[in-house]
Amino acid sequence: MDMQALIDSMKPVKDTITQEETALAIAGETPLQKKFDNRVGPSVNGSPAIDYHVYSPAQPGDTTRYPVLIWLHGMGQGRRFREPLRGTQVANFASAEYQAKFGKGAYIVVPRANEDLGMVDTIRYWLYSNSWLRGQEENGVSNQLPELVAAVQQFLSEESKNIDTSRVYLAGFSAGGYMTWQTLFAMPNTFAKAMPICQARFVPSHAQLKTVAHVPLWLVCGKEDEFYKADVAPTLEKLQTTHTAEVRATIFDTVYGPDKAEAKSHHASWIPVTYDMFYDDGTPCDPKYPQGFISWLANK
């Protein structure tokens, strides 16, 4: 079977998520993961909506305006309900320690790609089912971008009384790094800062980069990651001529976990970010930027 025939043969498997399924998904999660509620974005022209998970710092009657961090997962972490929360340590951002670093706290929003729609249970085909990358090879834009943008806009509207719209941040890794760029281009005046992490299979054009030249960026990748030479390095080169705002780059010779043990993959450069770019002993993952990720976001 050729690839197009395989794609054509895929059948949707996603149904409405029941309360029982929700409870089962949450039952085995950590206390931090359980702090995230479940929401569903709007459909766009009848297409499947995107569900997303939200940690909210706001209390009833609260009039405080909080920043927002939107986190976009990598390929394979959208295949099950709430999987983006379990696939990495993104829930760390909901901890009391990290929330305090934002000031009075921050919303953490974790959208999920509809990878369970027509998914073939083999990792090599996730790219061709419904990851964030679906559509990139055909037309350069994710098929799920309209739904993601609609979900982000819905969230910002629904929580508008408690959101500081001058402090909405965007980050994502691998396929989510690609989607970070796509979302940034689609909403160029929404995000105060953005961090594309080990972006997959995408080098922005000069024209695209010029539309977000005002947005401070921090690019992160492993030097031995296959996407570094192909995608990240060319992007950094282009940013030298297009960008007027700050551009940071952290390129790890070796990617380590918080305990300074070598990561299982050179591609796993999102791990340091989910630990605020610090190791467990308090040393910064990148000595050039000793204040860490959240401090960079929080400082206007």
Contact 46, 40 (CB under 8 A): no
- pLDDT tier for residue 3 given thresholds of 50, 70 and 90: very low
pLDDT of 54 higher than 50? yes
What is the spatial distance between Cα 83 and Cα 73, in angstroms, rounded to a whole number?
9
For residue 6, what pLDDT is reported? Answer: 42
The HSE-up count of residue 256 (CA atoms within 13 Å, CB side) is: 14
Task: Tell me what the mean pLDDT of segment 53-82 comes to.
Answer: 93
Task: Tell me what the mean pLDDT of segment 98-115 comes to.
Answer: 95
254: amino acid identity, one letter = T
For residue 292, what pLDDT is reported? Answer: 98
What is the spatial distance between Cα 296 and Cα 235, in angstroms, rounded to a whole number?
21
Cβ atoms within 10 Å of 31's Cβ, excluding its own: 9
What is the spatial distance between Cα 287 and Cα 276, in angstroms, rounded to a whole number?
13
What is the spatial distance between Cα 138 and Cα 142, in angstroms, rounded to a whole number?
9
What is the gyration radius of the CA atoms in the chain, in angstroms? 18
Smallest CA-to-CA distance from 79 within 39, 25, 128, 115 is with 115
**Alpha carbon of 278 to those of 81, 237, 246, 274: distances in Å?**
29, 27, 21, 9
Task: Tell me the domains of the chain and their CATH numbers.
Answer: 3-298 (3.40.50.1820)
Cβ atoms within 10 Å of 277's Cβ, excluding its own: 21
Query: Residue 149 has which token pair?
Result: 């943008």
For residue 1, what pLDDT is reported? Answer: 38
Smallest CA-to-CA distance from 202 within 253, 140, 249, 270 is with 140
What are the strands, taking DSSP E only, across the chain?
A: 37-40, 51-55, 66-72, 107-111, 163-173, 193-197, 217-222, 247-252
pLDDT of 72 higher than 80? yes
DSSP conformation letters of 157-178: HHTGGGEEEEEEEEEEETHHHH
- pLDDT tier for residue 139 given thresholds of 50, 70 and 90: low
pLDDT of 246 higher than 90? yes
The HSE-up count of residue 25 (CA atoms within 13 Å, CB side) is: 19
Task: Tell me what the mean pLDDT of segment 115-124 comes to.
Answer: 56
The share of the chain scoring above pLDDT 70, in percent, equals: 86
- pLDDT tier for residue 64 given thresholds of 50, 70 and 90: very high
Task: Tell me what the mean pLDDT of segment 218-244 comes to.
Answer: 97
Average pLDDT, the chain: 89
pTM: 0.90
pLDDT of 141 higher than 70? yes
Task: Tell me what the mean pLDDT of segment 87-95 comes to.
Answer: 97
Strand order in the sheet with 193-197: 37-40, 51-55, 107-111, 66-72, 163-173, 193-197, 217-222, 247-252
Task: Tell me what the mean pLDDT of segment 82-98 comes to.
Answer: 96
For residue 118, what pLDDT is reported? Answer: 53
Q: Tens digit of pLDDT for each residue in 151-188?
A: 999 999 999 999 999 999 999 999 999 999 999 999 99
pLDDT of 137 higher than 70? no
Task: Tell me what the mean pLDDT of segment 233-251 comes to.
Answer: 97
pLDDT of 13 higher than 60? no
Which residue carries 């099950």 as its tokens?
80
Contact 132, 179 (CB under 8 A): yes
